[in-house]
Amino acid sequence: MFRHAQLESVKAFVGDPAHAGVPLHGRIQRAIRQLILDGALEVGRPLPASRPLAQSLGVSRDTVEAAYRQLHAEGFIERQVGSGSCVSRRARLFAGANAPRRPQAAAQAPRLSARGQALHGTGGVNTVSAPRPFAPGVPETRNFPLHVWERLQREVIREHGSAVLAHSPAQGMASLRRTIADYINLERGGHATPDRVLVLTSSQQALTLCANLLLDAGDRILVEDPMYHGASRAFDAAGLRRVPIAVDAEGMQVARLQRQGHDARAVFLTPSHQFPTGAMLSLDRRLALVHWANQNDAWIIEDDYDSEFHYAGKPTACVQGLDPHERTVYIGTFTKSLFPGLRIGYMVLPSALVAPMTVARSLMDGHSPTLSQLTLARFMEAGHFGAYVRAMRGIYVARRDALLQLVRAHLSDFVVPQVPAGGMQLPCFFKPGIDEQAVLEGARQAGVALQGLTALHASRTPQPGLLLGFAAYTPVEMEMAIKPLATVLRRVTGQV
Amino acid sequence: MFRHAQLESVKAFVGDPAHAGVPLHGRIQRAIRQLILDGALEVGRPLPASRPLAQSLGVSRDTVEAAYRQLHAEGFIERQVGSGSCVSRRARLFAGANAPRRPQAAAQAPRLSARGQALHGTGGVNTVSAPRPFAPGVPETRNFPLHVWERLQREVIREHGSAVLAHSPAQGMASLRRTIADYINLERGGHATPDRVLVLTSSQQALTLCANLLLDAGDRILVEDPMYHGASRAFDAAGLRRVPIAVDAEGMQVARLQRQGHDARAVFLTPSHQFPTGAMLSLDRRLALVHWANQNDAWIIEDDYDSEFHYAGKPTACVQGLDPHERTVYIGTFTKSLFPGLRIGYMVLPSALVAPMTVARSLMDGHSPTLSQLTLARFMEAGHFGAYVRAMRGIYVARRDALLQLVRAHLSDFVVPQVPAGGMQLPCFFKPGIDEQAVLEGARQAGVALQGLTALHASRTPQPGLLLGFAAYTPVEMEMAIKPLATVLRRVTGQV
């Protein structure tokens, strides 16, 4: 028999509008199963006979019988002719499975693999879903022509029908690979063909693939110092040993590769617009880099994450286009140039890497969504991509200048801005004696989002400062955030 | 000066409608850069003076000057007052970068890491983009209510605006995690809470995460024999040692875990509907499995890939719901129940694994697309998911029966079908003496898609046969494929 509370619980479950999609007998069966899993009905407890339970619930006896049959088939109850049904003896083993867990169970360190612990230890990559000043690396999306995107998606659905719902090749849809190759060749001076493009979800996925496919745990990878934290975490997670190479106004100091790079299997860099300093790798260094990689049988991993947004002329041709030896993996993304929620990035690969990378991607997560690939290809083919990037370039350069003015007006006692020729963020170096950690903590309390520069450095004597994102924020929004930041700086430096 | 062909090539590039989005001076600059990268303009070659080139191209002299300035800034040309411009000496280093590569460059084995070679060696997971009978594991998508999906997506965009374009949390959108948890609790007897759901792109991604986060290379994982090839490849790619446990009519023979599982860190299985045999793990074995895992501090990886399609009553409660010790990782996917192009799957995790798995996922590829998560959550909340699954269940059971009739009518001399109580495929065992490899090869030539059973077995004496998919094909489509398959079998067995 049920206690009153148990009967009420069954009634509530059965009457819950959220369960309207489940047939009546299924709702009764699930409600009773829930009571058993929760331990509310102990082993051997007799269940009500079907007739009185049916009356209590206002359903037919057949309905209750159907629920009992299913519970019996699942092994939750035992039935004996004449003596009715009772909770199965086996319930002893799982009773309480649904009870609230002891808090310590969750707090205990789980048994992870060694590589799992390394992965967890990196802290991962935190993406910003509701960006506020001055979170860096986030594009403006409030101007995106969503109506155009929706219209193109409708066209794609009309033309392709239910094929947009099917699996698609792990390498990516042919139409998107073609438009990406055309774009890289035209805009980036690259040497891409559709059969060497691999469509991915993000440059983060590209970095993880490169870290695992090209290097083993313990292998050395040459990186910029300072460097992009998403890349350093992907490399740490893969167990690589990072060898930092200093960056100056012309980008990575490639001459150091000859001395520091002797047994490295790969070099990672952001040549168009170094993250975070904004430096552009000079042509001479690009050529020296290609020469070094070829001599040392090493891979160049070129992350061209925001080359669309270059404000003084065009960025120079990408390293991949200058490399006659097929040593360069080129990484691009639509996260910055279109919108982060899209989840489409790509690599342009040396031909020998196409098959291994495609296989690895198929094991990692299969392939990218079919419909958004087709829609993006059409968006690019129809010229919307180029037009949108041009429009955003104008907006971003104006925002960069607005932020620069704000920094000069409000923060000039504390920081020296380093104006970038491109990208979405303004590096600002602290004047001597300012405690970066104290500023970051004060800003956090004041609700201002900040990325410190120190955390991006491998060297022991980093130049502290801030990386202020400007792309996603209007001048008014930035002004509203720069004032509390100035207050924090005054307080930290004892000027208040 | 340009040769005639070079001038024509510049003109063609400038006039190409595909380049209409690039300003005129940019097109000229890119056309000349292309000639240099291709090696068509050798080092030191003087370029035409800006005035005659402007005349040839029908543009203003300023336009040509702008192109030359950019080429100079990029380092592709040198300019000397009085003597005009010429191709930079540095061009020697990259001339020919764009020339067609020597075929052997591509054919050479690339320098992969050891783990990269292991990954490549698995062959990956091939998804079927245009399925034809009898490719297994593919759902029917021609009946999917795309108009409903589109309408809900429009609603989501109207309500959320450009927030649908932003990054979203690595763990997944809260609304989708909530609907998934409700679904698992109601339909699968699970114990899920939204904070223990991790949204992924696919069950393949779940398998790769588990293989790497819970086990190290060389660790033992207990698996079903025969087993799902997507899982075995993910485990092989991660360097795990698979320990096969035989399957019978009640699923994995869990009693063998005591003897064979002593130092295994995890067990992988498909309890609702074993892949490929279709067996359902009995309740007693589920309970013994949970007991074993708790005693051995091992993880249970429960892949519930197609439990929505159970044709005889409901599948019994999932293992996760029977496990009071939080040892079970539950894997689900919308690839089978909705459509493969969606790319949304999920895990329900022990609370201690939520943070490490979320961190690992953020490093692997960030997060899932924002808009499709919101649309799916609404599709489920509004009851469309339940209604669609019920409708498809009716269609699939009819197709299973249709295929069974066809097999009995056309293949009864060769195979014994084993009728599954659920799922999307019919295992058919060969009668003695039939060469599976010859049948697969003959079918391939006849254009019939087949999955052999032998490849899914670890044991040396597998029972050969075929796994015939039926979900994605109408009875007429299956009939058109069964006849050539019968012809192949007759030929292979010498009956023709």
**What tens digit of pLDDT does each residue of A429-473 get?**
999 999 999 999 999 999 999 999 999 998 777 889 999 999 999
pLDDT class of A130 with cuts at 50, 70, 90: confident
For residue B199, pLDDT beyond 80? yes
Partners of residue A365 in chain B, C-beta under 8 Å: 200-202, 204-205, 208, 343, 364-365
| Probe site for chain B from A32, A112, A302 (most B CB atoms < 10 A) | A112
- Quick one: pLDDT at residue B342? 96
Which chain A residue lies closest to B291 (C-alpha atoms)?
A93
8 Å CB contact of B364 and A167 = no
Contact (CB, 8 A) for A67 and A10: no
- Quick one: pLDDT at residue B104? 44
**What tens digit of pLDDT does each residue of B288-345 get?**
999 999 999 999 999 998 888 887 766 678 999 989 899 999 999 999 999 999 999 9
3-state secondary structure of B454: helix
pLDDT class of B93 with cuts at 50, 70, 90: low
What is the rounded CA–CA span in Å between residue A67 and residue A23? Answer: 10
- Quick one: pLDDT at residue A96? 56
Please tell me which residue, A127 or B202, carries the higher pLDDT value. Answer: B202
**Tokens at A249, concatenated:** 């106004």
For residue B395, pLDDT beyond 80? yes
Partners of residue B365 in chain A, C-beta under 8 Å: 200-202, 204-205, 208, 343, 364-365
For range B123-133, the mean pLDDT: 85
Please tell me which residue, B189 or B490, carries the higher pLDDT value. Answer: B490
**Distance set, CA B397 to CA A70, B116, B249, B277, B403 (Å):** 19, 42, 20, 17, 10
Of A281, A188, A485, the C-alpha closest to B26 is A188
Contact (CB, 8 A) for B355 and A126: no
For residue B107, pLDDT beyond 60? no
Least CB–CB distance from B340: residue in A167, A359, A372: A167
For range A461-489, the mean pLDDT: 95
What is the rounded CA–CA span in Å between residue A142 and residue B164? Answer: 10
- Quick one: pLDDT at residue B115? 92
What is the rounded CA–CA span in Å between residue B488 and residue B482? Answer: 10
For range A222-244, the mean pLDDT: 95
For range A101-111, the mean pLDDT: 56
**What tens digit of pLDDT does each residue of B220-279 get?**
999 999 999 999 999 999 999 999 999 999 999 999 998 888 889 999 999 999 999 999
Which chain A residue lies closest to B179 (C-alpha atoms)?
A18
Least CB–CB distance from A75: residue in B283, B364, B368: B283
pLDDT class of B15 with cuts at 50, 70, 90: confident
Residues 6+ apart with CB under 8 A from B233: A363, B122, B123, B124, B125
For range A86-114, the mean pLDDT: 65
What is the rounded CA–CA span in Å between residue A117 and residue A111? Answer: 9
How many CB atoms neighbour CB A319 within 10 A? 28
Average pLDDT over chain A reads 90
For residue B125, pLDDT beyond 60? yes
Place of tokens 């009085």: B82
Which chain A residue lies closest to B289 (C-alpha atoms)?
A93
For residue A102, pLDDT beyond 60? no
Stretch (H or E) spanning B69: helix B61-74
pLDDT class of A313 with cuts at 50, 70, 90: low
For range B78-104, the mean pLDDT: 68
Least CB–CB distance from B204: residue in A70, A168, A366: A366
Please tell me which residue, A135 or A41, carries the higher pLDDT value. Answer: A135
CATH code: domain A387-492 is 3.90.1150.10
Average pLDDT over chain B reads 90
CATH code: domain A164-383 is 3.40.640.10
For residue B106, pLDDT beyond 60? no
Please tell me which residue, B2 or B143, carries the higher pLDDT value. Answer: B143
For residue A104, pLDDT beyond 50? no
- Quick one: pLDDT at residue A175? 96
Domain span(s) for CATH 1.10.10.10 in chain A:
4-94
**Distance set, CA A443 to CA A403, A468, A485, B463 (Å):** 17, 12, 6, 67
For range B460-472, the mean pLDDT: 91
Please tell me which residue, B282 or B96, carries the higher pLDDT value. Answer: B282
Partners of residue A167 in chain B, C-beta under 8 Å: 127-129, 131, 138, 340-341
What is the rounded CA–CA span in Å between residue B71 and residue A273? Answer: 18
What is the rounded CA–CA span in Å between residue A127 and residue A131? Answer: 9
- For the A4-94 domain, the top CATH level (class) is mainly alpha
Least CB–CB distance from B189: residue in A37, A128, A146: A37
What is the rounded CA–CA span in Å between residue B419 and residue B424? Answer: 11
Give the pairing of strands B299-303 and B328-333.
parallel
- Quick one: pLDDT at residue A101? 47
Residues 6+ apart with CB under 8 A from A356: A213, B110, B112, B116, B119, B120
pLDDT class of A398 with cuts at 50, 70, 90: very high
Which chain B residue lies closest to A323 (C-alpha atoms)?
B97
Say what the ipTM of the complex is.
0.88
For residue A108, pLDDT beyond 70? no
The full 3-state SS of B413-438, as one line of letters, equals: CCEEECCCCECCEEEEEECCCCCHHH
What is the rounded CA–CA span in Å between residue B290 and residue B408? Answer: 40
- Quick one: pLDDT at residue B315? 65
Of B309, B119, B47, B128, the C-alpha closest to A165 is B128
Kindly report the nearest CA distance between residue A469 and chain B, in angstroms. 16
Range in A68-77, A176-185, B89-98, B195-204 the model is least confident about: B89-98
Please tell me which residue, B94 or A243, carries the higher pLDDT value. Answer: A243
Range in A382-391, B68-77, B128-137 the model is least confident about: B68-77
B300 strand-pairing partners:
B267, B328
- Quick one: pLDDT at residue A25? 86
- Quick one: pLDDT at residue A93? 67
Range in A292-296, A327-331, B129-133 the model is least confident about: B129-133
For range B23-29, the mean pLDDT: 85
| pLDDT above 70 as % of chain A | 95
pLDDT class of A314 with cuts at 50, 70, 90: low
Residues 6+ apart with CB under 8 A from B478: B133, B134, B399, B402, B403, B406, B470
Domain span(s) for CATH 3.40.640.10 in chain B:
164-383
Domain span(s) for CATH 3.90.1150.10 in chain B:
387-492
